Amino acid sequence: SAVISQKPSRDICQRGTSLTIQCQVDSQVTMMFWYRQQPGQSLTLIATANQGSEATYESGFVIDKFPISRPNLTFSTLTVSNMSPEDSSIYLCSVEDSARPNTEAFFGQGTRLTVV
């Protein structure tokens, strides 16, 4: 299993500002993902964080709004840029082993973002 440290756990931010969320894994992992979750709702995949190259974004998400870095196999950041109240949500990082699709994904504890 993988242990994931995600921070901050929560934040309250002013509209128009940016927040960077960090995700640190205790072992090297092939796949890292960023999800958004409205409270009490399901998960929506934002992007796949690719080590050493640009992230792969899902429909409806763009790099300018959600820039992602992944400098190595254990660390990634997600930035929520130029925030508006609509960005208030829970953001989760997740890791998987692409070589073993029958294994489970592991999640960070999430970052609860409130934009005022």
* Contacting residues for 101 by C-beta, under 8 A, at least 6 apart: none
- The least distance separating other proteins from the CB of residue 73, rounded to whole angstroms, comes to 18
Residue 25 vs residues 13, 50, 91: alpha-carbon distances, Å: 26, 15, 16
Q: Which of 27, 84, 109, 114 binds other proteins (CB under 8 A)?
A: 109
According to DSSP, the residues that pair with 25 across neighbouring strands are: 4
- The least distance separating other proteins from the CB of residue 26, rounded to whole angstroms, comes to 15
Beta strands 4-7 and 19-25: pairing type? antiparallel
If binding is defined by CB under 8 A, does position 107 make contact with other proteins?
yes
Give the x/- contact pattern for other proteins in 22-51, rule: CB under 8 A.
Answer: ------------------xxxx-x------
Q: Which of residues 70-99 bind other proteins (CB under 8 A)?
A: 92, 94, 96, 98
According to DSSP, the residues that pair with 5 across neighbouring strands are: 24
Task: Calculate the CA dihedral of residues 78, 84, 90, 95 and round it to 10 degrees.
Answer: -20
- The least distance separating other proteins from the CB of residue 106, rounded to whole angstroms, comes to 7
Residues in touch with other proteins (CB under 8 A): 4, 6, 9-10, 40-43, 45, 92, 94, 96, 98, 101-102, 104-110, 112
